[in-house]
């Protein structure tokens, strides 16, 4: 099952303004999304501990065993809770399947269906952007306006996708760190290019450029030029090296190209920049 194929069937959606602490673990029969609007503490789910605070989304696949432990100093604990399937196959079952303690749990009550890989395990992620959409989702489910099931399902799907996108963005940031460090260490190499960097890190040049643009706002080529300009500015005001030497040490293939790019990005020529800022700090 692909991520794009999910079509949530919601059985329960509401905002809780307190949390009744149980003395036992709960095991859910359907998927759960807890969105901590206000509150902090930790939760133990399937033997692993996760901390939470305001705007934390906690997703549990069906069959997850969990126990909330709000901090004792937490005055308010406001949580949006949604019980659902990721598919609409079992829409005839409209009531929440609920939870049971470990002693009373009946595995046969679990509904089985293919799930996207992204939703086969527990997710804990701060995603403040989805808060208003979850509010609207629970409101639609509570008021039962015309087509409330379809509307709340669409809102939940949007929120689930946003959670995955947020995780993917962080994952890309981790993957990009060694690439950006490589650029910072080798920017002076005039042969450095999209193709050579992508090949070194086993990426397609276009894909790598798009990843970097998502992270920095600049394409790979733009980022490389921007970093070279940044370092050339530092050299211009901290050394007496001639312009052609700085161009070469900053990774530009020629002095003329360096001057052209510098003026395009900074607004003045390297010589003018040096004269204006020779005694200022970079």
Confidence band (pLDDT; 50, 70, 90) for 282?
Answer: very low
**pLDDT bucket at 257, cuts 50 / 70 / 90:** very high
Q: Is the confidence at residue 280, as pLDDT, over 90?
A: no
pLDDT in tens, 229-238: 999 999 999 8
Please state the pTM of the whole predicted model: 0.64
Supply the CATH classification number for the domain 3-144. 2.60.120.10
Q: Cα(74)–Cα(58) distance, rounded to whole angstroms?
A: 18
Mean pLDDT computed over every residue of the chain? 89
Residue 31 confidence (pLDDT): 95
> Is the model's pLDDT at 191 over the cut of 90?
yes
- C-alpha to C-alpha distances, 192 to 15, 152, 195, 221, nearest whole angstrom: 54, 50, 8, 10
Q: Is the per-residue pLDDT at 268 higher than 70?
A: yes
- Report yes or no: 16 and 79 within 8 Å, Cβ to Cβ: yes
Q: pLDDT band at 245, cuts 50/70/90? A: very high
Q: State residue 170 phi and psi, 5-degree precision.
A: -65, -40
Pairwise CA distance, residues 28 & 11, whole Å: 13
Q: What are phi and psi of 102, to 5 degrees?
A: -60, -35
Using one digit for the tens of pLDDT, what is the confidence trace for 13-35? 999 887 555 566 899 999 999 99
Does residue 64 register a pLDDT over 70?
yes
pLDDT digits (tens, 9 = 90+) for 93-132: 888 888 998 889 999 989 889 999 889 999 999 999 999 9
Question: 218-221 — which CB contacts under 8 Å span 24+ positions?
Answer: 220/194, 221/194
- Residue whose C-alpha is closest to residue 259's, from 250, 247, 274, 248: 247
Parse the chain into domains and list their residue ranges: 3-144
Which neighbouring-strand residues pair with 50?
43
Does position 281 have pLDDT exceeding 90, yes or no? no
């Amino acid at each position: 099952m692909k991520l794009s194929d999910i079509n949530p069937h919601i059985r329960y959606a509401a905002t809780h303004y307190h949390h009744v602490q149980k003395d036992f673990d709960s095991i859910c029969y359907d998927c759960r999304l807890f969105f901590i609007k206000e509150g902090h503490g930790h939760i133990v789910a399937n033997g692993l501990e996760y901390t939470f605070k305001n705007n934390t989304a906690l997703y549990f696949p069906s069959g997850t065993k969990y126990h909330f432990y709000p901090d004792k100093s937490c005055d308010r604990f406001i949580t949006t809770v949604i019980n659902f399937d990721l598919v609409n196959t079992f829409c005839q079952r409209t009531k929440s399947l609920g939870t049971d303690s470990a002693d009373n749990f009946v595995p046969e009550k679990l509904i089985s269906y293919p799930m996207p890989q992204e939703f086969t395990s527990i997710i804990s992620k701060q995603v403040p952007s989805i808060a208003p959409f979850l509010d609207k989702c629970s409101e639609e489910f509570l008021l039962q306006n015309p087509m409330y099931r379809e509307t709340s399902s669409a809102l939940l799907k949007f929120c689930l996708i946003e959670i995955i996108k947020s995780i993917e963005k962080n994952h890309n940031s981790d993957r990009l760190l060694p690439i950006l460090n490589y650029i910072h260490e080798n920017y002076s190499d005039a042969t450095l290019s999209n193709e050579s960097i992508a090949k070194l890190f086993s990426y397609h040049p276009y894909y790598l450029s798009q990843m970097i643009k998502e992270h920095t706002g600049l394409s790979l080529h733009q980022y490389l030029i921007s970093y070279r300009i940044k370092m050339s500015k530092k050299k211009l005001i901290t050394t007496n090296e001639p312009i052609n030497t700085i161009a070469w040490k900053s990774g530009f293939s020629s002095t003329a190209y360096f001057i052209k790019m510098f003026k395009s990005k900074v607004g003045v020529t390297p010589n003018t920049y040096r004269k204006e800022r020779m005694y200022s700090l970079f």
